[in-house]
Amino acid sequence: MKLKSIIIAAVGLFLTTGCNSQNKQVKQTNMGKSIVIFFSHAGDNYAVGNIKVGNTKIMADYISEITGADQYEIVTHKYDGMAYGPLTKLAQEEANKGELPPYEGKAPDLAKYDTVFIGGPVWWGTYPQVMFTLFKDINLDGKTVIPFTTHEGSGLASCVSDVKKAFPKANVTKGFAIYGHEVRTERAKVEKWLKELGISGT
Ligand SMILES: Cc1cc2nc3c(=O)[nH]c(=O)nc-3n(C[C@H](O)[C@H](O)[C@H](O)COP(=O)(O)O)c2cc1C
């Protein structure tokens, strides 16, 4: 009888351990619970032509694959189907006027997150204005914020300082920039950056 109980307990323990190791598909990192908040424009773009998936979206997916971070995509349909030329004009007007175009849906609930990646393309030297609309609706006090950009020459531009301005009580790190036209072939650069940040989830 006693032996039977021990065997049942041992089988139970084995099954539990087996299940747990499968659950380790959920990535273990040293940055607490994390999320990638990003905006990305699919369609006609500089250097890459007419793309079905935006450059920053690909970056966001790499980060989530590598670290297990959740995602929140800032969505607007304002620029759908626009050619690159008219889009740059419209974006410049928005930036000059400090317009805050609305985004679709609700702002994310960020209470459970310790680390927030923020990423977008550089549009006229900073993030697209719709990202600033969202920034007004979220609170990142006390969180670690990791900005990144995809761009075609401006690097981080003023994105990091603009994030610092929007979230003065967050711990904003130095940020990472990658050329938009490199994103599809340079996943290794993203892995290296995350490793340098000390994020060990792989
Ligand atoms: C409206 C607009 C403005 C842009 N302005 C800049 C800029 O100021 N500096 C820069 O390096 N790239 C600029 N770019 C290029 C984008 O930053 C780059 O293509 C980026 O990877 C696009 O990311 P996405 O596909 O996620 O939207 C601009 C692109 C657009 C469409």
Rounded-to-10 torsion of CA 83, 89, 93, 96: 120
What pLDDT is attached to residue 110?
98
CA contacts within 13 A on the Cβ side of 164: 10
What pLDDT is attached to residue 198?
85
Dist CA 181 CA 75 (whole Å)? 22
Rounded-to-10 torsion of CA 134, 30, 27, 171: 10
What pLDDT is attached to residue 23?
35
What pLDDT is attached to residue 53?
93
Q: Please work out whether the CB of residue 86 comes within 6 Å of at least one atom of ligand 1.
A: no
Ordered alpha helix ranges (H), the chain: 2-23, 55-67, 84-97, 129-137, 159-166, 187-196
Q: Please work out whether the CB of residue 180 comes within 6 Å of at least one atom of ligand 1.
A: yes
Dist CA 21 CA 9 (whole Å)? 18
Domains in the chain: ranges and CATH: 27-196 (3.40.50.360)
CA-CA-CA-CA torsion sign (170, 176, 180, 184): negative
Residue with tokens 């190791």, as numbered in its chain: 21
What pLDDT is attached to residue 7?
47
What pLDDT is attached to residue 31?
85
pLDDT by 10s per residue, the chain, length 202: 455 554 444 444 434 433 333 333 445 567 899 999 999 999 888 888 888 899 999 999 999 999 999 999 999 999 999 999 999 999 999 999 999 999 999 999 999 999 999 999 999 999 999 999 999 999 999 999 999 999 999 999 999 999 999 999 999 999 999 999 999 999 999 999 999 988 765 4
What pLDDT is attached to residue 56?
98
pLDDT in tens, 36-57: 999 999 988 888 888 889 999 9
| Separation of CA 151 and ligand 1 centre (Å) | 5
Atom of ligand 1 nearest to the CA of 88: 1
Dmax (CA) for the chain in angstroms is 81
Mutation test of ligand 1: which of 48, 55, 122, 148 has the most ligand atoms closer than 8 Å to its C-beta? 122
Model confidence, pTM: 0.87
What pLDDT is attached to residue 42?
92
